[in-house]
Structure 1
Amino acid sequence: MIVTLTPNPSIDRTIGVPSLEHGEVNRATSSRIDPGGKGVNVSRALSRNGTETVAVLPVGGPEGHLMQELLDAAGVRHEGVDVPGTLRMNIAVVEPDGTTTKVNEPGPVLDDTQVESLLAAIDRYAAGGGWVVGCGSLPPGARPDLLAAVVERARAVGAKVAIDSSGAPMHAAVAAGPDLIKPNHEELEELVGRSLPTLGEVVEAAKDLVAQGISTVVVSLGGDGAVLVDAEGVAHAGATISDPLSTVGAGDCLLAGLLHVLAAGGSGREALVSGVRWGAAAVRLPGSEVPGPTDLDGIPVEVSDQPELSRVLG
């Protein structure tokens, strides 16, 4: 079982435009809505590919009802904690070349009682093993050490923990010692407090985190693929996509692909290849749609245990 926690989920509305003209009336060529938030996306991708998962999340207001309807329609098992206010609606404007402009709302305020209800749900579903995944930003009012508490609570019931966040929540979670973290390039720079312009510098920063007790560090690098660092060494993987539609949720699908393999007992290298393939497949889909088995077919992934460390990252 892979349990995901999304403290600040969203309804994602994706609008396609021929080009985005600032300050002008823009005519949409397409529009869609999807259940969103990092952990929700991870559960959606896992569920679509046959991996047992449950999404834990707050729900409130009309958007909360819509969220549950969308998850039910997608066949994603979920447990919602009722909160006052309403879930956020995030807007992504996508241009034909895949360029994406996002506007994210803040989300509802959570108090300590509601946070404890979310953590208690994790305790129930994660008891006895599996993975717990803490993802994304925190809503207003949530304590900054929420994801650190996820690490501690999951460990207490025998589960492994993956974290994908940023800022203060990520710092707190890393200090608690999760098994895996998946920052993107910018989030890793923020985490270590310095610029990392080359692949080699990214690898060294990841090695430092492994030395501090994080078993596996996976850094998503957009068009430059992704790199995995663990006690076994370093692996870099990439896939070339010539027909991108949307980058929304691609990093979440990468994390889902990693966990899909790790939960089945695969190696870090195998998990990295899977993650890059899932992330690349997501880029070829509209909005924050997640890939299924047929979407993954025919996407070649190049992997190397001796990557070009001098490579300057875009």
Structure 2
Amino acid sequence: MADPTTDTYIGVIGGSGLYDIEGLEGAEWQNVDTPWGAPSDAILTGTLGGVKMAFLPRHGRGHVHSPTTVPYRANIDALKRLGVTDVISVSACGSFREEMAPGDFVVVDQFIDRTLAREKSFFGQGLVAHVSVAHPTCPRLGEACLTAAKEVGVTVHKGGTYLAMEGPQFSTLAESKMYRESWGADVIGMTNMPEAKLAREAELCYASVAMITDYDSWHPDHGEVDVTQIIATLMGNAAHARDMVALLPGLLGAARAPCPHGCDRALEFALITQPDARDPAMVAKLDAVAGRVLG
């Protein structure tokens, strides 16, 4: 018997410079309440090419949240609560590779998490779960982003390791050299963690498109990171990102089969706490994130 299909619902989490999706039919900003507090902002919902879409500005309109204060759990819960099936993260980043130049996009497939001051899981005392993030992004979704970026004419790189730092300060020169030379990271940013981990816990397919704005501080010909230069590159990147996102409904289609990589079944064997020992308050908080397995 074939696995049942469901409706595709694409959620886009937009980073610096990307604050909406153009061309949505029936567009409206919705406030979504979550047990984890308020999301970064209201969520823009509508349809594009017959596919349901949701857009969440990661830093809030006007850029009011720093990378550390972004309410990551509320953001992912809110998207899941709306019925989102596939999450596309779009964010600015620095590059550790000469060939990954400012203006290029990278479809990230690995992360090194160096964040220190953020809640990184929906689970905890009273209901413990362990999900695998060995492969933290969805290859199917990443391929769609890669295809869309190529079609809009962006220089895009398939695969890359994203070093997630706490911020809000940029790297020291010593850190930049270490991340590049010893750790083998390709790009650096401040927001994809714990976002990717939480998406996996919520059984959402997740793809990350990193938009390069600078060479961090390692490059001998570019010097330290300059915010004014970053913003100039960011505006051009954001225009390309909007064009890329507009192609995703046609690439993913309105009908969605179960993820061939199991992203939407990540909690299948992840819950450790026995049913009779689970904290009812935790169970209630996890109604959207883990409702499928909590029953």
TM-score under structure 2 normalisation?
A: 0.29
Compare the two structures and name the one with the higher helix fraction. 1
TM-score (norm 1): 0.28
